[in-house]
Structure 1
Amino acid sequence: MNKASRQHPWSRVVIAFLISLLVTMIVGIVVHSQIILREISALGHEVDLGTRMSSTVSDLLVFAPVFGAISLALLPAFALSSFVSRGVNRGLRPVAYALSGWTAIYAAFRVIDAFAPMPVFLAGTRHWIDGLLVASAGAVGGISYSCLTKRFELRDITRPTITVVSAACSIWIVAILAASLTRPSVQSIAASSHSGLKVETLASGLPFPWSLAFLPDGRMLITERGGNLRMAASDGRVEESAVPIAPVSDFDVLGARLLDVAVDPEFMVNQSIYLSFSHALAGGDTASLVKGRLTQKGVEGAAVIFTADPGEQGASVSGGRIAFLEDRTLVFTLGDGFARREAAQDISNHRGKSVRLNRDGSVPADNPFVEKQDAALGLYTIGHRHPQGVAVDPRSGRLYSNEHGARGGDEINLMLPGRNYGWPITTHGIDYSFARITPFAELPGIESPLFQWTPSVAPSGMAIYAGAEFPDWEGDILVSTLRGRSIRKIEMSDGKPTGQQEVLVFDIGARIRDVRVGPGGGIYFLTDEEVGRLVRVSSAQR
């Protein structure tokens, strides 16, 4: 046997594996796309054939590298099948490779989920049945590999083999059909350094500070994610001891994450402040709103006035920003918890919603969903992903919020009562896996963002500028960013963005968690790090 003939079988194996990898990738992406589109249809927005095809083709082009990498799990699976199937009737080889391919892809999904920062990396595999449907692509790839690497005669194929192979092909066809069935802006950017701005670090050593609020006398309250509430003087000096918070019986404050802090509009009369916590509940996490009186002894009489309802066992609610409206009711923002994003469109739970409450936690009689018997308590808006900042324009009373998209599609929204902000039916972003979330960026009846970032900047805190320090910025929106490590100034006119944004870049080397405007018009922000800082920005000319 010459050298060329000895190499031929190996070249055929390599080519066969590459072809089977391509087949697995194509089949898996097509099935995954139909599952995602099925979920969109289930939310009441039918996907026509043209949109379905264009969305699937887009996934084939963009999602292919990720699914191709996942499909490399076939390599050890086929190697094992090759070893195990030696001496087995050649007609049974397709069965062995199909089963190993199917198992390998499904196992790869679960391993990735165990290490991914989100509950499920591929949204189309959230339910185990859907995961098996997508993983069936591995079975098709296994059959392809078997047929391409081993020549066999028709007489080698036994009747059981024909039955199993036919069943595998049928499963693939059913997978695509089942997946398709319905279950019962361009902005102009100007970057600037801190020339013309005076940047001062007022305090450091704050472990992962999350939020900042000013008291009427100029002092500041600062929350730390680990659970501490800090008091800082008007010059930024932070008291050594944390502000004690009276025990809250509804959950373990020591084991909870402290998020936002807000000061009552009538603080001079009632000394009330509000804190939001993220804490464990029924196998998942939720957010609660706590009210207490700030005295010289600490936060006294702290009590939970609202706890978000995830809607099902083990589900989670994220978010937790607080803002007071002109009528002195408050709005509390809540995220979708990442796991089942379609819950943001279900009014029976609080995931992906905002709520409007009276300051004692009761529901205002004029709330938009108050007449709906199946609506969760206090709903104000729906269809949010992960709200990070919320602010009220002191001149107009308009309520604005920002929220994270996935890979792109970060948003600024004008919050109006009873409106649907689209998630996950509409978004300008795609999934972390590069798969399409939805074919729709905008739809009638759904509020479009006033402003969006693609690629993502990971917005965090938010403020509306009002003050004498930077008079030209009056009414503009300030958004702190985690990924961008900057503050974005969005120019506003008559309550709408002009399309101009300025990136305020500071040489701090850290993510920025929150931004606020101080009583004198200075800008204050918190860095998101283990040794967090309180920083003030003022005009160098004043």
Structure 2
Amino acid sequence: MLAVSAWRKLLLHFIWTCLLAVLLSTLAQTQFNLLALQQLGIAISFSERLTTSLHDLRHFAPVYAAIFSCSYLVSQSIAFWLRRWVASRWQVALFALAAGIGLLCTLLLVNALAPMPTLIAASRSLPGLLSLLLMAALAGALFARALQQSSGAGSNRQVDASALAALLLPVMLLNGLVTPAASAVESDYRIETLVNELEHPWSLAFLSGGTMLVTERPGRLRLIHADGRLEPEPIAGLPTVFASGQAGLFDVVPAPDFAQSQQIFLSYACGRMRANHTCLARARLDLSRLELTELTEIFRTYPAKTGNAHYGGRLAFLSDGSLVLSLGDGFDYREEAQRLSSHLGSIVRLWPDGTVPEDNPFFGQTGALAEIYSYGHRNVQGLVYDSANQQLLSHEHGPKGGDELNRIQPGLNYGWPVVTQGIDYTGARITPFTAYQGMQLPLLDWTPSIAPSGLTLYQGDLFVDWQGDLLVGALAGRQLQRVRLTEQGAEIVEVLLAELAERIRDVRTGPDGALYVLTDDARGRLLRITPALDGAGAKVY
């Protein structure tokens, strides 16, 4: 076993080489993130680079230290065990190789377990990944060299590798998300559960007579009668859906002339894990047979992407009969949101037959995709057209903070990832900028994030005080927010349904003036929200 002095030296060598790797890796990942912005033509000054680096040393480094120290401890323990069979001249290479391979395996494991495809943004590119592995290898090499110098190669063979098992660095925990401030106004409302047997329901649409269509993310379209009775069998004839993670069947919208045409439109993920898209199809709905016919794909995003995150998928018809579809940035492809040669991170506009309107802002422009209506979005999961004011409104997920409510205008750039109020999930800065020339600022941003999903403009008769307000569902926030547009932007008026503590996926105004809400769960619910019957605030669950 090691003597106390030798153990102390071992501990010190382990700590300083580990911290050195964390320091250098943090600085490297910052520069790779800023380089991605520079490749978009964004100018970054020395002071902006410095402040971003200092921010990451404070906020990203502790997270990376927790990840790297676990990897480093295991890899160097294995190297100690193997070293007895390795000549002393190759031991530096052994420790370096072990550290690099250990970090690679750890990053692959973390990415497999994390909700997002790639946790550390710099490792999205091969050069960025190699830089992190190189810093790990450097730490391993220095650790081995320091041990040789302090102990000598011969005595070093007698070091008990089990001593390394006691070497653990403190892990600094990330702060959790905070729920937004309590509401300024309280409403009395009644909650009625209509259906509680839906698997991760995603979208709700009304047909004539109060009949409803509900999509389930795994790839099913369900029919719910006006009395709340769920048809036991899903509607047949759907397209092949790629269902994994956030991918699946998304929105359903009936054509404005559905009573005559019987047409509906579906957005969904299509393809496979290594090459998938957000797709849009139209079909005729045969209610008597509960079947889709004449199914036709009319749009799919370009280019294909890997992973199963950030698809957007919301649909809305404009007053001229054109159809807009919101898209996500694919998470690992966030810079694509600034490129007009890519659909990722945009909102597209089409005619119902899939052709492109010639008055689209980039129609006929060289190097730009004609379908793009607006760009610079992260993951738009709320979309509503206000016909009275001729405005298209959307909300989108930010990273850790920076969720946005936007008024969409053709041809405008909404900033992502150059502009955001949020930071990455690791604590790293995505960008130095919260504003940038030529990029639109949101009407409202949520920091901390609520993860908005579902959006409706209330124009019913039951809640008189809500006329013209927006209702925003929240996944992470587990609530419904009522938002009012103002001359300055928008403001949160009140928080609803927080007592349920359930993820809200979609919200719609029903033809009866009630509010209909979908909860996101393996046993998701369809809720009907109406004013309290006697004003006493009694609620039915």
Query: How many Å apart are 1:436 and its aligned residue?
Result: 1.6
What's the counterpart of residue 167 of structure 1?
none
Q: Paired residues, what number?
A: 506
Aligned to 1:347: 340
Match of 1:20 in 2: 17
Residue 509 of structure 1: CA displacement?
4.3
Contact 2:275 2:304 in 1 (8 A): no
Deviation at 1:68, TM superposition (A): 0.4
Please give the secondary structure, in 1, of the residue aligned with 2:183. Answer: strand
User: Do residues 259 (structure 1) and 250 (structure 2) align?
Assistant: yes
Tell me the alpha carbon deviations over residues 276-305 of structure 1, each in whole angstroms, 9 at most, x when there is no partner.
Answer: 121215832212212122333335433334
User: After superposition, where does 1:268-283 map in structure 2 within 5 Å?
Assistant: 268-280=259-271, 283=274
**TM-score normalized with structure 1 length:** 0.86
- Cα distance change of structure 1 residues 304 and 495 upon mapping to structure 2, 3 Å threshold: farther
- Indicate conservation of the 8 Å contact 1:190/1:501, yes or no: no
Which piece of structure 1 moves more, 314-323 or 447-456? 314-323
**Counterpart Cα distance in 2 of 1:397 and 1:314:** 37
Q: Tell me which of 28, 33, 36 is aligned to 1:31.
A: 28
Distance 1:306 1:348 in 2: 19
Of residues 320, 325, 328, the one that matches 1:332 is 325
Q: Cα offset for 1:89?
A: 7.4
In the alignment, what sits opposite 2:38?
41
The residue number in structure 2 matching 1:139 is 137
The code of the aligned residue for 1:258 comes to L
Q: Deviations over 1:126-164 (max 9, x none)?
A: 1233211122211332344245434369999xxxxxxxx
Q: Residue 93 of structure 1: CA displacement?
A: 5.0
Give the counterpart letter for 1:123 in structure 2: A
Whether the 8 Å CA contact 2:277–2:305 is kept in 1: the answer is: no
Give the one of 131, 149, 152 matched to 1:151.
149
Amino acid at match of 2:36: E
Match for residue 237 of structure 1? 229
User: 5+ residue gaps in structure 1?
Assistant: 157-185
Q: Output aligned runs, 1:434-445, within 5 Å.
A: 434-445=427-438
1:162 matched residue in structure 2: none
Cα gap change, 1:455 to 1:220, in 2 (>3 Å): same
Any idea what SS the aligned residue of 1:35 has? helix
After TM superposition, list the pairs within 5 Å mapping 1:273-422 onto structure 2. Answer: 273-280=264-271, 283-295=274-286, 296-312=288-304, 314=306, 318-422=311-415
CA contact (8 A) 1:322 1:390 kept: yes
Please, which runs of 5 or more residues in structure 2 have no aligned partner?
Answer: 155-177, 535-541
Q: Is the 8 A contact 2:13 2:147 kept in 1?
A: yes
1: distance between equivalents of 2:23 and 2:243?
49
Shift of 1:389: 1.2
User: Does residue 1:66 correspond to 2:57, yes or no?
Assistant: no
**Structure 1 match to 2:49:** 52
Alpha carbons of structure 1 residues 505 and 6: separation in structure 2 relative to 1, 3 Å: same
TM-score between both structures, scaled by the size of structure 2: 0.86
Give, in whole Å, the separation in 1 of the partners of 2:349 and 2:223: 28
C-alpha distance after superposition, 1:45-72 (max 9, x if no partner): 0211110011011000001121101221
Counterpart of 1:190?
A: 182
Q: Do structure 1's residue 479 and structure 2's residue 472 form an aligned pair?
A: yes
Change in Cα spacing, 1:405 to 1:298, as seen in structure 2 (3 Å) is: same
Please give the secondary structure, in 2, of the residue aligned with 1:424: coil
Q: Deviations over 1:67-106 (max 9, x none)?
A: 1012211223223334444597767654443333333323
Q: 1:359 to 1:495 in 2, by over 3 A?
A: farther
**Match of residue 174 from structure 1:** none
For the structure 1 residues 440 and 302, does the alpha-carbon distance in structure 2 shift closer, same or farther, using more than 3 Å as the test? Answer: farther
CA change 1:46–1:494 in 2 (3 A) is closer
**For 2:280, what is the secondary structure of its paired residue?**
strand
